[in-house]
Structure 1
Amino acid sequence: MFQPGKGGMWIRAPSGTIAPFKLALTALSIRERRQYDTRHTYATLCLMAGMNPAFIANQLGHSVEMLLSTYAQWISSSSDWRELEKLPTRV
């Protein structure tokens, strides 16, 4: 969200970005939230778009199991029925 500083390093502590983040939210008419919540938004949008859970988990620094246990409720698409058809009929 915020570009690296002059030294080329990404910001590691949120304290330097709180004020600009709040200004951006106000300018966009988005209710105030913690910067950390953007992780959840990113993960949810990626899953809803059908992206590979292994890729998303890697982006967030999670295991696939952790990602799916936290965000599985957001995995829903028209391909769900095709996935269910993979199960044996006797299940």
Structure 2
Amino acid sequence: MFQPSKGGLWINEPSVTIRHFKSALKALNIRERRQYDTRHTYATMCLMPGMNPAFIANQLGHSVEMLLSTYAKWISSSSDWRELEKLPPRVELVQNWPKYDERA
């Protein structure tokens, strides 16, 4: 969450990181939450606009399957219909396709 300066040691004292995190939330006028909750927010915010699930999974240290089974169930919006727009508008007929009785 709070990366040390180059060559510095990670702060592994929960009371210190929690205090800084709470101060950051207050300064940004964000209601109090656990640091862990920000993972869910990040994953959901990345999934909603359609970011690459492989990238998001890598960011969170998950497999794509784990990411989708955990977070995708929370994604349901009108943007889901955009997936259908990726289909071609119509399927072209194949020229000279044999009739059913000629394929046998």
**TM-score of the aligned structures, taking structure 2 as reference length:** 0.66
How much is the aligned-residue C-alpha RMSD, in angstroms? 2.4
List runs of 5+ in structure 1 lacking aligned partners. Answer: 87-91
Checking the alignment, whether the CA contact within 8 Å between 1:50 and 1:75 is kept in structure 2 is no
**TM-score of the aligned structures, taking structure 1 as reference length:** 0.74
Larger radius of gyration: 2
**Same amino acid, percent of matched pairs:** 71
Find out whether 1:80 has 2:83 as its counterpart. Answer: yes
More relative contact order in 1 or in 2 (CA 8 Å, sep 6+)?
1
Structure 1 10/82 Cα, relative in aligned 2: closer, same or farther at 3 Å?
Answer: farther
List runs of 5+ in structure 2 lacking aligned partners. Answer: 89-104
Given residue 82 of structure 1, which amino acid in structure 2 is its aligned partner? E
| Aligned match of 2:62 | 62
Moved over 6 A (4+): none
